[in-house]
Amino acid sequence: MTLTSEIQENTTETPLLPHPDSQQTAFFFDVDGTLAEIRDEPDAVTIPPEVRQHLQTLFAASSGALALISGRPVEQLDQLVAPLILPAAGVHGAEMRDGAGEFHRVTLPAQMAKDVEQTLEAGMSALPGTLLEIKGMAFALHYRQAMQHQQHVLELAESVVATYPELVLQPGKCVIEIKPRGKDKGVAIYDFMQQPPFAGRLPVFVGDDLTDEKGFEVVNAMKGISVKVGEGSSLAQYRVKHVSDVHQWIKRLQRHESISHSSHIPKESNL
């Protein structure tokens, strides 16, 4: 396996993103690299308060049809958007808080999870500067601060998935993730689209990384709107350059909703 993307370019640079009607739209947002700037350390990431405020307005305007679709665990997502509690797919869809607030989680057999954890801890501790994130049923092997170990990290992850066919690799930005087979962001968005309040709406998904391509694929198949943030080949129909462009778009969307549907929007916010 190589880390180069084989995704076919499908995206045109589009300065003006569409302005869909929130009552007809299901909004899906990736987090790292889309709502939050990439940082050296996963723990250093934040979503600005005004963006959380705008998400709250859009969530209300869409009658709750707004979800986070992330590689992070749902618990971390809740901290990032606090005090909002949003529908969310975490760990690339291995966790899900659905539209009704019900929580679903894939688990690995306990012994297998322990064995994988021990193998990865031993392997990563031999690669100074790398960081192992343990998410229960998934693992993120970070090398952002130790680029010289990229190939070693990949080989370590490949050795684990070769032993456990229940697990697959998910490359990302300076990270190789190991996650349960059969779960990805496309499946997560598809599942949300089968249930209220998402069902019957036009899906919109904004993301920046390889893991988001599965989401773009599903959204494109549903004739929805897919938006890639940053450079790189993508299946997305639209492209913006920066996280700040996403923030501006959300601001425009919610401002329109505040004016058109002011009676539905909370007047006060705790953000």
Ligand X SMILES: O=P(O)(O)OC[C@H]1O[C@H](O[C@H]2O[C@H](CO)[C@@H](O)[C@H](O)[C@H]2O)[C@H](O)[C@@H](O)[C@@H]1O
Neighbours of 12 (CB within 10 A): 9
Count of Cβ atoms closer than 10 Å to residue 117 Cβ? 15
Pattern 191-210, ligand X, x by CB under 6 A: ------------------x-
In angstroms and rounded to an integer, the radius of gyration of the C-alpha atoms of the chain is: 18
The candidate with the shortest Cα–Cα distance to 187, out of 69, 24, 102, is: 69
> Do the beta carbons of residue 130 and residue 151 sit within 8 Å?
no
Residues 1-30 that bind ligand X (CB under 6 A): 30
Q: Closest Cα partner for 167 from 101, 91, 260?
A: 91
Range in contact with ligand X (rule: CB under 6 A) among 36-44, 96-104, 222-230, 249-257: 36-44
Asked if 140 interacts with ligand X (CB under 6 A), we say: yes
Cβ-based nearer residue to ligand X, 41 or 121: 41
Tell me the closest approach of the beta carbon of residue 17 to ligand X, in angstroms: 19
93: left (phi over 0), alpha (psi -120 to 50) or beta: left
DSSP state of 35: T
Residue 67 and residue 154: Cα distance in Å, rounded? 31
Of 122-130, 170-178, 186-194, 236-244, which segment contacts ligand X by CB under 6 A? Answer: 170-178
Pick one of 18, 42, 48, 196: the residue that binds ligand X (CB under 6 A).
Answer: 42
When the beta carbons of 131 and 225 are compared against ligand X, the nearer one is 131
Query: Per CB under 6 A, which region of 46-54, 64-72, 114-122, 198-206 contacts ligand X?
Result: 64-72
Whether the link from the prior residue into 87 is cis, omega within 30° of 0, is no
174 contributes a contact to ligand X by CB under 6 A: yes
Question: Is residue 261 near ligand X by the rule CB under 6 A?
Answer: no
Looking at the DSSP bridge assignments, the partners of residue 97 are 88, 103
Applying CB under 6 A, the site for ligand X has a residue count of 24
39 binds ligand X (CB under 6 A): yes
Q: Are 229 and 243 in contact (CB under 8 A)?
A: yes
Is residue 173 a contact residue for ligand X (CB under 6 A)? yes
30 is catalytic: yes
Kindly give the interhelix angle for 150-163 and 110-125, rounded to the nearest 10 degrees: 160
Taking the C-alpha atoms of residue 240 and residue 227, their distance in angstroms, rounded to an integer, is 7
Q: Does 72 bind ligand X (CB under 6 A)?
A: yes
By CB under 6 A, which span of 15-23, 118-126, 137-145, 254-262 interacts with ligand X?
137-145
Among positions 73-132, residues that touch ligand X (CB under 6 A) are none
Q: Which residues are catalytic?
A: 30
**Which residues contact ligand X by CB under 6 A?**
30-33, 38-42, 45, 70-72, 133, 140, 142, 144, 172-175, 177, 209, 211
